[in-house]
Amino acid sequence: MTNVFIVVISFLLVVTLVQLVRVGQLLGDIRKKDFNIVTESDNKRQSFLMLIVGLTFLTSCVWQYFAWNPLLLPSASSEHGVIIDELMRFTMILIISVFFLLHLFLFYFLHKYKKSSDKHKAYYYTHNNKLEFIWTIVPAIILTGVILYGLNVWDRITNADTSEASVIEVYGKQFGWSARYPGEDQKLGSYDYKLVGGANALGIDIDDENSLDDKVTRELHLVEGKPVLLKLRSQDIIHSAFMPHFRVQMNCVPGMTTQFTFTPTKTTKEMKMLEGDDFEYVLLCNKICGVAHYNMQMKVVVETQEEYDAWLLKQNTLSEKLLTQK
């Protein structure tokens, strides 16, 4: 029944519209002027609207910033994240200023220079090389600064010193993550995708002696203040390991290993104090990967060295897991 109503109402709306437009046109015919030619009062009304809507838009941008700022990510929980945040703040201040400035010019010009009478002529002004040179060179200089600053930060992130870092493997598959810790020998054992199966979900080569003490876990535990080198792999399709709180993201690509180095700086406990008790760090998938892409996650915990050691001790080694089954 409601469907019938909807159809009838839409039909009536269209008919009303047709009749309204026709009436407008007939009125125009009677007054002997083209209904669709823009008049002086149109210009007045539209330029005024432009000013009002434009300023409302700019105000609403400010409102959105204040209303939704608390929902945004908290400040970075990693060393490189802090310099990314600084670069972000710098860039944001720059682009937001330009955004407001250019829009104010736009809305002001539109209001000020509306066509007001047929006698008034626009100013015939084709070009001004000096002016154009200035507004090419000024953005060029500003962007040089942005580029140099950005490349410096990029360089510091991607060339981070990995000699002290502990290596952890992060492994993605439809639709979950696991982590592999190297064990006491500090070496991850080799792998082959053809070995994947059963309990050996990561395809670890058990004949490699480095593998025996590796530990595969469902959570990613990290030590506060200690650099970590993530080695990322994928079992099936491209995933992306995204840890927004640490400003860390790297794709996991089948057939190759990618990596990312960073140092966490705030423990989960500290973050719970700052952000509330239900806060958890998380690693989520950020590359479309299938039906449960939106729920492909792994809990991340940052803790002190002692807590970390105690946790790691409790995890089974691969030899315990796989060989005992054999």
Partner 1 sequence: MSDHHNETFLSKYIFSLDHKMIAKQFLITGMFMGVVGMLMSILFRLQLSNPGESFAVLEWFLGEKWAPGGVLDPNMYLALVTMHGTILIFWVLTAGLTGTFANFLIPLQIGARDMASGFINMLSYWFFFAATVVLLTSLFVETGPAAAGWTIYPPLSALPQAIPGSGLGQDLWLIAMTLFIVSSLLGGLNYIVTILNLRTKGMSMTRLPLVMWALFIVAILGVLSFPVLLSASLLLVFDRTFGTSFYLSDIVIAGEALHHTGGSPILFEHLFWFLGHPEVYIILLPALGIVSEVISVNSRKPIFGYKAMVISLMAIAFLSFIVWGHHMFITGMDPFLGSVFTFTTLLIAIPSAVKVFNYLATLWRGSIRFTPAMLFAIGFVSTFITGGLTGIVLGDSALDINVHDTYFVVGHFHIVMGLSAIYGMFAGVYHWFPKMYGKMMNKKLGYIHFWVTFISAYGVFFPMHFLGLAGLPRRYYSNTAFPMFEGLTNINEIITFFAIVGGIVQVLFIFNFFYSIFYGTKASKNPWGSTTLEWTTPIERIHGNWPGEIPTVKRWAYDYSKPGYDIDFVPQTESLKEGEEEH
Binding to partner 1 (CB under 8 A): which residues in 244-283?
Answer: 244-245, 247-251, 253-256, 258-259, 278-280, 282
User: Judged by CB, which is closer to partner 1: 271, or 312?
Assistant: 271
Amino acid at 167: V
Map the footprint of partner 1 across residues 157-186, applying CB under 8 A.
157-159, 173-174
Map the footprint of partner 1 across residues 65-124, applying CB under 8 A.
68, 71-73, 81, 84, 87-88, 91-92, 94-95, 98-99, 102-103, 105-106, 109-110, 113-116, 120-124
3-state secondary structure of 80: helix
**Binding region for partner 1 (CB under 8 A) out of 189-197, 218-226, 265-273, 309-317:** 189-197
Q: Rule CB under 8 A: choose which of 294, 305, 320, 323 binds partner 1.
A: 294
Residues 213 and 189: their CA atoms lie apart, in Å, by 9
Contact 142, 94 (CB under 8 A): yes
Burial state string for 53-74 with b = 16 or more CB within 10 A and e = fewer than 16: ebeeeeeeeeeeeeeeeeeeee
Residues 222 and 203: their CA atoms lie apart, in Å, by 24
User: Judged by CB, which is closer to partner 1: 31, or 314?
Assistant: 31
User: Judged by CB, which is closer to partner 1: 68, or 184?
Assistant: 68
User: Judged by CB, which is closer to partner 1: 212, or 232?
Assistant: 232
Contact 205, 187 (CB under 8 A): no
Map the footprint of partner 1 across residues 50-69, applying CB under 8 A.
50, 53-54, 57, 60-61, 64, 68
Show the tokens assigned to 163: 């000699």
Provide the minimum distance between the beta carbon of 278 and partner 1 in the complex, in angstroms, as a whole number. 6
User: Judged by CB, which is closer to partner 1: 43, or 210?
Assistant: 43
- Cβ atoms within 10 Å of 14's Cβ, excluding its own: 10
Could you tell me which residues come within 8 angstroms of residue 257 by beta carbon, excluding any fewer than 6 positions away? 231, 232, 233
Is position 9 an interface residue for partner 1 (rule: CB under 8 A)? no
* Rg from Cα positions in the chain: 31
**Binding region for partner 1 (CB under 8 A) out of 133-141, 212-220, 221-229, 300-308:** 133-141
